[in-house]
Structure 1
């Protein structure tokens, strides 16, 4: 591997000691970004999107100040006392519902231990303006049992704290469905995957967009705004045409769809709304025009048949100043059935011990929270403009550290400290756009590498994550694509990695790795064929000799097929990704020297890009330009000075 770059160590030390983003970097250690200069000149045509709208209230107000106006309710008044042996789940649920019906407020818990989650119960937040607040980190909620629901979409099982459950029940996705959906069951290679029939909770159709709108526009001309009355949040959906897959190829930044990308190839045949953006309506201008709170990220061309769908959201939900801990035994083996554990045991360790799911919430806050010993500590699902600030994730290693799901857009994650690792460390899947991860640190005490993780489509009519920003991240190795092969590629275009302090080694110096396309020797390939054949037989519940022979023959035929292995060229699966200031402790590589697939600058091993914080500088620019929604509050101390 070679010795670490001396300048890398100097920069990394500076970053760790001064985590306020105002790092004093000399000219020799930072280089002005060409990508950022392009953004300054024309934000609506640059490779880089405007990320300044991420976070609580778009960075325009202080959530702490808002919550300070809420009425405070002491948990003791609802019979909830610390350090008792009883399970408090039902009492907490009753208190939350009572406060919610009365208009909301803060449910305050004194220091001590509160037992929750026995018998698989979980706490639902189904009202706006509900804040769960502890006296300090010594306010500890202890979960005693898993919340797995494994019959359908077990990866969407409930969490100890689950918001929006009445709007969107667990174990099912939400969004806009295919226009011509076919009856197809999809399953991954995992034997614990019960399969999905593709059903989702469908958003309510409102109206058509009748005139083209383009990136940077915030006003849409629609058929009739009357149907938008009362809809503060909408999904802007763009559709593929029958027999025409231009939209999905545009989102994925590809000229052609690979044969094994089965979900992507359904887009034109079943008319998929591949682009689905959850966005806030600012106001209705007249009978034909509606103004959005932020500019479009893509062109809403007429040939994509843009439509608006209504979305009901909770607002101003918060989790503040406490510790959430579980009694999980910490035994984890990623998708460990059938070799290591039973099907149920494997599902529990993958999807059963879950912390907080901020689902269907807009302008929410998770702050000063410790999440200890969960296989899935934190989901943000179908949510927007939530801020996750000063969160510590610790305990046993598990499945998914921080996961964006569904239509989560413009959320902000800052000052996150990982004291443990996860198979899928931080990232997301589905139509997740404009999210920002800034000042994230992984304390790698056991020399276990982790990667950024992107996981593909989620469900048939969706598309992979795009236009997200990861900046000022310490301790992650590379960028990983995961998920089922049929749901590849793992990400769509124009995700940005900005000033990353890479650390760790995984037998390869390649920055981009996709687990579906791992290179292996012939023996491992043949073993893989046998395993895939067994998985198929189990899923199909068939042991007929002819079926076995045909399945084995089909899998063997893929051994020498270029569609099954991309040798050293996984970057081709991350089209239009943007790398700027990727500092590496050991020599790493991206073979795409001509920027034909990904865009790369300042990939020298020890040189940062200016501005140091892309997000902070974009926030500063928006404030300086006098945006009509002027930034009055600088959450997470993001503004560059």
Structure 2
């Protein structure tokens, strides 16, 4: 059984009808064409997906999202350190920062385990880094255990400005899960340049392959072992071919002004400090088998094509943090007046960076600039999260090539500038089963792809973001499935005239497409179905996961 909370377990009961439809042929799926193509209902589209889950033209297979690719439950490791034994008081007055740091360090030295925070309020004045795999910070419950963050990252760690803007507006956390070498190199570089994977040594090159393939031919398999996690890289060429592919290779991509409107995605001509993140497309993936005939098998299907001109290569992953997490507590920031947009001082909740198979479970964050952060991650689960308090910047932030992450059973109760953020070539990410009193289904450009938002009720009052030279608002294969809008606003949700090869299905409460200007001319090969009706399956992610687990035996 996948890791599911009570609400999602109940939702499983409604999936049987959706999964029972007989599949259509893959040829039928491939013939969907115009920007908006009404059909009798979402059931037809679901049948098409079942026939070709790894290659469907509009709906991405996101069943591999979350901890353990959805195949393993989030673990419950044993307690190895109680913060009280390291000097914490938990009375809301004493400074418990050093005690928490000592306990986290001790848990890392023990090879991992739980750092237990008994009921109480733990006042901190500085950032708590988690550098070691396997370390879990656990409270008694969000109601009983509170980490009170008195200082921002500006005050408690370091002032981090680039010009007038605060770089804590899009990175960093008061509890920061990040490899030690990765954080040291970021700080040395002034938190600019490559933010995710580092020290990546080439292992072998790859033969051409198609989206959906899992068996790949390699030039040299001697350095590969089953169970290895490697980094698949593709070179971003000046001919914009990779950028066009991430936008679904639609005809309008040929007419798009890439040099001006996507300058940030062209490192050879850009002076943007984040441009090095986009020299290569980078996708961590596990090798499950190495065959004698020069082939390997991946744990999940490719999301993109491998073309020779992009120099497809497998490299080592470099420093990574795994199986670490935070659970059963509240992080409460000192409440301050809402900062100017992009000048936030860094009252940020937990941030995962260069991390795989980590989690935040039953964590509430109050009065934050950024509540939950993902930067260069893979298979992170954020389950049972609640964001509340004064107006913030990002309640959920997913950026810089973060792939296959899951946010489930979530609530945004406080006001926010943006909402469910995704950007920067990130793919395979899911937001499933949530309520949003504020925010929107946000993209910050830089061509994110293959995203699913499903089974969400939203008062749509946030705004999408992204710089004017950061490229199209959406890449290929965004799916908004069963989204209930309570205030009639379409912004960021009805994206069928903007997002190439997208699917907008079961969106209720809106009157028309989003107010964004179109990025591309011509047909987008997107699908719009069953507006103002709830369709089956209700939760697309859970339906995909159940179908895959059943078909894989």
TM-score range, shorter chain: 0.7 to 0.9
**Pick aligned residue for 2:426 from 429, 432, 454:** 432
Residue 187 (structure 1) aligns with: none
- Inter-partner Cα distance in structure 1 for 2:333 and 2:514: 40
Once the two structures are superposed, the pairs formed by residues 439-458 of structure 1 within 5 Å of their partners are 439-443=433-437, 450-457=439-446
Local SS of the residue matching 2:352: strand
Structure-2 separation of matches of 1:572 and 1:357: 33
Aligned pairs (5 A) from 1:252-401: 252-253=247-248, 254-258=253-257, 260-263=260-263, 266=266, 273=279, 275-286=281-292, 288-311=294-317, 312-335=319-342, 347=343, 350-401=344-395
Match of 1:124 among 129, 136, 144: 129
Residue 168 (structure 1) aligned to one of 160, 175, 182: 182
Are the counterparts in 2 of residues 361 and 384 from structure 1 also a CA contact under 8 Å?
Answer: yes
Structure number with the bigger relative contact order (C-alpha 8 A, sep ≥ 6) is 2
Distance 1:405 1:173, change over 3 A: farther
Contact 1:454 1:481 in 2 (8 A): yes
Distance in 1, Cα, partners of 2:268 & 2:255: 13
Hey, what does 2:214 align to over in structure 1?
Answer: 218
Structure 1 Cα separation of the partners of residues 548 and 180 of structure 2? 37
User: TM-score with structure 2 length normalisation?
Assistant: 0.81
Shift of the alpha carbon at 1:200? 7.8
How many Å apart are 1:391 and its aligned residue? 1.1
Q: Cα 1:455–1:391, aligned 2, differ >3 Å: closer, same or farther?
A: same
1:20 counterpart residue number? 11
Question: In structure 2, how many angstroms separate the alpha carbons of the residues matched to 1:276 and 1:331?
Answer: 35
SS in 1 for 2:541: helix
**Aligned match of 1:562:** none
Using a 3 Å threshold, how does the CA distance of structure 1 residues 511 and 157 change in structure 2: closer, same or farther? closer
Q: 1:617 to 1:328 in 2, by over 3 A?
A: same
Shift in Å at residue 623 of structure 1? 1.7
Of 396, 403, 416, 1:402 maps to 396
Superposed, 1:607-626 pairs within 5 Å as: 607-626=533-552
Give the counterpart of 1:150 among 152, 157, 160. Answer: 160
Task: Look at both structures and tell me which one has the larger radius of gyration over its CA atoms.
Answer: 1
Could you tell me how far 1:198 is from its partner in structure 2? 7.5
How far the C-alpha of 1:469 sits from its partner, in A, is 0.7
1:123-168 Cα distance to aligned partner (Å, 9 max, x none): 0111111111111221111000110332344435531100114142
2:477 is the counterpart of 1:494:
yes
Q: Aligned residue for 1:420?
A: 414
User: Any stretches of 5+ residues in structure 1 without a counterpart?
Assistant: 1-15, 175-193, 336-346, 445-449, 458-463, 514-569, 628-641
Q: How much has 1:77 moved relative to structure 2? A: 1.6
8 Å contact from structure 1 (residues 57, 385) kept in 2: yes
TM-fit CA distance, 1:111: 0.6
C-alpha separation in 1, matches of 2:17 and 2:293: 55
The whole-number CA distance in structure 1 between the counterparts of 2:118 and 2:112 is 19
Contact 1:140-1:325 within 8 A present in 2 as well: yes
| Contact 2:454 2:480 (8 Å CA) reproduced | yes
For 2:505, the equivalent position in structure 1 comes to 580
RMSD: 3.4
Moved more, 33-42 or 316-325: 33-42
- 1-structure distance, mates of 2:386, 2:500: 32
| CA distance in structure 2 between the partners assigned to 1:413 and 1:390 by the alignment | 8
TM-score scaled by structure 1?
0.71
1:570-602 Cα shifts (integer Å, max 9, x gaps): 865432222111111x5233699x992262333
Q: Deviations over 1:449-492 (max 9, x none)?
A: x32111122xxxxxx21001100111143895421111121321
Looking at structure 2, the residues matched to 58 and 195 of structure 1 have their Cα atoms a distance apart, in angstroms, of: 30
Give the unaligned 5+ runs of structure 2: 1-6, 19-39, 271-275
Q: Secondary structure at the match of 1:85?
A: strand
Quote the Cα distance in structure 1 between the aligned partners of 2:322 and 2:483.
33
* 1:84-95 pair list within 5 angstroms: 85-95=93-103
